[in-house]
Chains A and B, each alone.
Chain A
């Protein structure tokens, strides 16, 4: 079973486009993470959310706890944004983490 579902799996965008990646989860959570994984494999934490909305530069993350849904938005996308974006949640019954399969984003110049 997949506790975390992401969509789309793959996304190709033109430079400058507004991008949205969606994440739905089925477990109770204490926090949701958005991670970026570069082609070389390294993982960077972008956001950690437990409610509302966070913004960092061109990235915006929102979460709706009632609907068990989160979105990651990228404004004015750039080729350097090309990476795999992973949604992960921390369960609220312990220190267990569940990961989505990731969204592979390619931004074309």
Chain B
């Protein structure tokens, strides 16, 4: 069964550095999402992406964050200048067209640790 893959599984970065988290969604999917889960807390929606543009973003997704689909297969989340509070598990998800009956498929997540 096709799956969403995320790399790396664990990223350790110094505060203030830029980080790029990578996701390869399922190939025929059209809608893409990033979520974050701080340790011990609930999952939070960051951003959704469709037709090469952001369709919705949360308050968390400020100017430090950006997303890109650079080559038709990868979907990336960039954090420009990382802060300690960016330490979290980041999940990518994708789904096919027809949101009313298509579930999201999640990757296994990237654990981001900011030092």
Contact = CB atoms under 8 A, between A and B. Distances in A.
A102 B100 contact: no
B43 A99 contact: yes
Nearest to B37: A41
Nearest to B89: A41
Interface string A53-75: 00000000000000000000000
B86 interface: no
Interface residues on B, range: 20 to 34
Interface string B15-44: 000000000000000010101010001111
Q: Chain A at the B interface: mostly helix, strand, loop or mixed?
A: strand
A40 B109 CA distance: 10
B103 A48 contact: yes
A45 B37 CA distance: 16
Contact of A45 (B31, B48, B55, B105): B105
Nearest to A91: B56
A52 B42 CA distance: 26
A99 B109 CA distance: 17
Chain B interface SS verdict (over half):
strand
A99 B104 contact: no
A88 B43 contact: yes
A45 B105 CA distance: 7
B56 A31 contact: no
Nearest to B9: A41
Contacts of A40: 108
B48 A95 contact: yes
A48 B44 contact: no
Contacts of A39: none
A43 B48 contact: no
B91 interface: yes
A27 to B, nearest CB: 13
**Closest 10 pairs (CB-CB, A-B):** A95-B56, A97-B45, A45-B103, A43-B106, A95-B48, A99-B43, A48-B103, A101-B42, A42-B108, A94-B56
Interface of B: 31, 33, 35, 37, 41-45, 48, 50, 55-56, 58, 89, 91, 93, 99-106, 108-109, 111
